[in-house]
Each structure stands twice: as C-alpha cells, then as structure tokens.
Amino acid sequence: LAHRIAEDRNTLQLVDVREPEELAIARLDSFINLPLSQFAAWSGDIQSHLDPNVETIVLCHHGVRSTQMCYWLLQQGFTQVKNVTGGIDAYSTLVDSTVPHY
C-alpha cells in the first residue's frame, strides 16, 4: 500500500472511515476522513467527495468498517474499490512501524 500511495497518489482516492479521535492517535496523511458515524452527513452527496470512476482505497482500524464502506460504494456505482485488509493496525505492523498502534 505504501508503495502504491507513493507511486499513484494522484490517481487514487484514499478514504479513512475511522473517527476523528482515532485519527488523533494514528493517521496516514494522504487519506480523507469520512467517519462512518457521520454517514448521514456525507452519504447523500458522496460524489462531491469522491469520483466513482477513480480507484478508491478504504481504511479503518481493523478492516471491518472499511469493508462496509466498500460494499456501500460499490452499490453507489463506484467501479474500483479496495479495502485495506487488517486496517491501519496491520499497516502499522507490516508496512510502517512508526504509525502508532492503539
């Protein structure tokens, strides 16, 4: 993932569905935050936040909330949606140990 972000940052949409207090602990700067708890606030105009034709990578803490978001995005007509399996927890363990665990 880190390699993809570094190489394709301008051609990817990176979404973090965790809560703001979780981002205060550990975050990846290139991800936009669309917390699932605020779904009603942003879901009605999702296409003003994201382009359904651009590859979208979704992240949460362990991969559960991001999986839900991926399914929802696919139902909204997004064509290239990927989940970060294991979430930021796995990213911290496997890719970048400077990202804090919580």
Contacts with 86 (C-beta within 8 Å, 6 or more apart), sequence order: 62, 63, 93, 94
Just list the catalytic residues. 60
What is the C-alpha to C-alpha distance for residues 77 and 92, in angstroms, rounded to an integer? 31
What is the C-alpha to C-alpha distance for residues 20 and 26, in angstroms, rounded to an integer? 10
Tokens of 87: 């979430």
